[in-house]
Amino acid sequence: MSIPQTTPQQARERQRQGALLIDIREPHERASGQAEGALAIARAELEADPGRHLPDTDAEVLLICQAGKRSLAAAEALHAAGYRNVASVEGGTTRWAADGLPLVRPQLEPDEADFLERYSRHLRLPEVGVEGQRRLEDSRVLVVGAGGLGSPAAFYLAAAGVGHLRLVDDDVVDRSNLQRQILHVEDTIGVPKVESARQRLSALNPRVEIEAVRERVSSVNVEALLEGVDVVLDGSDNFPLRYLLNDACVKLGKPLVYGAVQRFVGQAGVFDAGRARGQCPCYRCLFPEPPPPEFAPNCAEAGVFGVLPGIVGLLQATEAIKLLLGLGEPLAGRLLQFDALAMRFREVKLAPDPDCPVCAPGRPFPGYIDYARFCGTGI
């Protein structure tokens, strides 16, 4: 039997005559408004036990969802369960609203309403949903550097609803930063970067706790900075700090989301050897020794294409969110290289080094070293 469909106008009239209108969407979908007079029963709940909600199999039932597809499928399920007078509202709540029919908002606590509305597009993804979004809210990410990479990464982590961001940087905002470090503005020149970042991120999403730490990361404080975080995002711009973060992450079992930019090229990857020794490489597996300083100038010396850190920083934010949610395939064991001038991505496979001095299976942590001397810099 073909399930009958009705327009919203017809459904409204039949509702006035006693038909039962049921909104089968999830609670977060109904937060933005549902058809006036409709009962709220999620599809899975209705299909699992229709008799509990609809004891009369002869009652006239109209099902409505967002666009009409799910309600049609639910109507077919009810018909198979013995309900003979079931129809689907064509076009769903979207068309109901477009036709000017009345909508009502369910009564919710302010915090719950904010959560459902703010993250509504995430909540519609089955891979995220309410459970995944709550997991993000319970997550903690350390972002090292509030500059070119840390700015876009932190911006999107905050927008996505990561509950706690610990930002570490000891620098202040300079006018030359504004070409690429999008967390900062003209009015915050001279302000500590972590404070400038805290202001912008809090304005974007007040639900996120921003911990601004104005410190220089060193062997002395690195473990305290990593304490309690789920993911470390490396937005640094120098080799000594990259090696230090790598070693600490291996020792403490934290995934490290790596990014680097220079001139028109950038790269991103995930080093997760601390949690998967012998299976995933660490940063030292890729660079056992740092390049000579003259072959690795920083942005101040070599320059950088303004949008490039934004692209790489967003890749880092993407990987961090995937790690927090357990989604997809992270860039562990892969290095993604990007050439902005050619608009081309290239992937390089990375294998763990069985003789790595830091992450080789069974090898005890060798201790922190003088990273500035190791890298041949004065940093």
CATH class assigned to 5-107: alpha beta
User: Rounded to 5 degrees, what are φ and ψ at 323?
Assistant: -65, -40
Per-residue pLDDT at 149 = 98
> What pLDDT sits at residue 290?
83
Reduced to 3 states, what is the DSSP secondary structure of residue 233?
strand
Decide: 304 and 262 in contact? Cβ < 8 Å.
Answer: yes
pLDDT of residue 294: 57
Q: Which residue has the higher pLDDT, 106 or 150?
A: 150
Average pLDDT of the chain?
94
In whole angstroms, how far apart are CA 259 and each of 106, 143, 147, 194, 314?
Answer: 44, 12, 12, 19, 10
Contact 246, 283 (CB under 8 A): yes
pLDDT at 37 over 60: yes
Q: Residue ranges of the domains in the chain?
A: 5-107, 139-374
Q: What pLDDT, in 10s, does the model give residues 292-328?
A: 665 556 666 678 999 999 999 999 999 999 999 999 9
Give the CATH class of 139-374: alpha beta
Alpha carbon separation from 163 to 111, 312, 321, 323 (Å, rounded): 14, 22, 12, 15
Q: What is the pLDDT of residue 293?
A: 62
pLDDT digits (tens, 9 = 90+) for 172-208: 999 999 999 999 999 999 999 999 999 999 999 999 9
| Identity of residue 117 | E
Q: For the chain, how long is the longest CA-to-CA vector?
A: 83
Copy the structure tokens of residue 213: 């730490």
pLDDT at position 299: 65
Following DSSP, what letter does each residue of 71-129 receive, concatenated? HHHHHHHHHHTT--SEEEETTHHHHHHHTT--EE-----HHHHHHHHHTHHHHTSTTTH
- As a whole-number percent, the residues of the chain with pLDDT over 70 amount to 96
Encoded tokens for 328: 């997809």
Residue range 241-276, pLDDT digits in tens = 999 999 999 999 999 999 999 999 999 999 999 999
- pLDDT per position as a tens digit, 51-84: 999 999 999 999 999 999 999 999 999 999 999 9
User: In this predicted structure, what is the pLDDT of residue 224?
Assistant: 98
Nearest to 150 by CA among 137, 136, 164, 169: 169
